[in-house]
Amino acid sequence: MFAINLQVSVSVQMTLERSPYNGAPRLRVARCAASIGYLNVYIINGGLIGDVINNNFRGKIIAQAQAMLPAKICGMLPLLVDERVNTLLSRLPQAIPLMQMVSYSTALTAKPHRLPEHVSHYHLLQHRDISGIFSQNHLFSASDPRTEQAETSFELFKILSRSVS
């Protein structure tokens, strides 16, 4: 079994372009530089052969890996960007209908409706339509208290929704 400890620094310069096929945005790797800060490779539980390789060849293996890895890492990046990023960018809409933009702009410029954070009994009695609800006997005549709560809540909801809109 091998153990590899690795510290890599990768610097990538990307360009944002339009695809020549469908005009979708796409990223292209313009420049890549990778450097290996720390690399250690050794064989674990290799017995006598593992010890011989670790003692005699580990330095050569590390030197070859440090020379080879930056090119391999930078060589993999364009394919990764195409597979993982450009496929997502190609799904972005290329045009937005004018009516959809108008609806977005009116939603952004419209005055927001402010709802009260807490509604108290006193607050509800201040509204003009509320006084009749609490005097109606049919809301409180049900024998099941859950029915009474549901009917009262529904009536209050209707009144609040009318006063907000």
pLDDT, tens only, 63-106: 999 999 999 999 999 999 999 999 999 888 887 777 777 777 77
Global pTM?
0.53
pLDDT for 14: 96
Q: CA-to-CA distance for 40 and 57, rounded, in angstroms?
A: 12
Q: CA-to-CA distance for 41 and 151, rounded, in angstroms?
A: 74
pLDDT for 99: 79
pLDDT for 81: 95
Q: Does the pLDDT of residue 28 top 90, yes or no?
A: yes
C-beta neighbour count of 26 within 10 angstroms: 20
Q: Are 136 and 159 a contacting pair, CB within 8 Å?
A: no
pLDDT for 92: 84
Q: Are 12 and 77 a contacting pair, CB within 8 Å?
A: yes
Q: Are 89 and 25 a contacting pair, CB within 8 Å?
A: yes
Q: Which residue has the higher pLDDT, 38 or 157?
A: 38
Q: Does the pLDDT of residue 164 top 60, yes or no?
A: no
Q: Are 116 and 165 a contacting pair, CB within 8 Å?
A: no
Nearest of 43, 15, 19, 50 to residue 30 by alpha carbon: 15
User: Which pLDDT band, with edges at 50, 70 and 90, does 19 fall under?
Assistant: confident
Which 3 state secondary structure label does DSSP give 139?
coil
DSSP H helical ranges for 81-144? 87-89, 98-109, 121-126, 131-135
User: Which pLDDT band, with edges at 50, 70 and 90, does 159 fall under?
Assistant: low
